[in-house]
Chains A and B, each alone.
Chain A
């Protein structure tokens, strides 16, 4: 800078050579600020909606069942444990095991008595991954009136097969509870116990000494569907 040129605040900031690059730099700044600001504002609105509103989702279930059956003849006072390997169950893609229903049916057909035998059934708690302590599970039953015994084991947490409305920030979070793996793995153990009953306790020729018991196991599988309630 020549000595006769007075130094001013302006000349400290801009010279003839620096004018164009400075203007370009500031213009680039302005353009970038505008472009990114539009992006930011768009995201701000989306985020604001996301954090301030929790939409409601309609939850429905598609249900399929898989049935297994075992027919066993038990002697009087016999206890027998039946095994149903859940690995044999074919679970369709996207489905999970929701619950297992067991029906125990006895047939009174031998002997001359018309007195029903006493049958007891239990689901034995083991390593099968399920809600063993759920109030919706019914693990024991007994009958001496020739009626079927119904037992139930809830496998998937909170699954009852009924549609519901839930609040969640996004579809993933709404579905998250219903996307768990690992429930229903293992072997279902059903314990049967038979006590033959004779009229007035008399069976002189010893004809009524056993009972044929049918165990039906129905595995309920579900697939959760979610849709935004407008």
Chain B
């Protein structure tokens, strides 16, 4: 009879312990993830959601009162050339930057994949522009292109030709923005292509050798099919990155001449921080977000279905 009393306590204790043991992982996970996800929601999740909502309001100036106007901002977006024009420019300039960077990077990767002496050095040299600060290096490009005392124009003058005022010409402005972006991105593209080239199964090349395939045939029938997964990855991430470029536009042309190089993200900055048109900035951000999200989702659907690969688009390595 007396034994039952002290027994009760240990039994309850083991039950609690069993609960703790059974859900041990969950407790540890909650302790680890809880605080950091909560804080992420506060500092990152909430502003993002807020940004989605912002586009449905008319809100001029931070002191002003937001007024709900439904879809008016979006209707304006697709009617005003200031906005849809900026979107189109983002797309075609982004495509231009992407295509040039990726093809130059692919060429470089093919060369770096050869058994060359000192190829590690080349890899580093080509990647260096990617780690430099945009502010600092666009400045050098601006000096290079200065109409009065730029290095290029001084060279042209010394050859006896008329100097070119790059900043007044749309094609030249676009050209130099593309040159800067390629300068900065080509090394990173080459590294990823190179990793792709080296992941192609070596035995396939040996088999091709036995079958008597030449260099060009091997490129066409072994290398390119083997590169397909990484090609999708790099094309998508590079496109997503390129339609969002704005720093080089901001620092090199300021959107000029006459707003002809103004891309959408730069327009968002102007709306938000110069004109304080918060509603339109929110609406434009949402349009950009939807485009990026759609492109990425399509990419995921295709890749995860085909080979269950989990890759996520890298935010640009600055």
Q: Decide whether A and B are members of one complex.
A: no
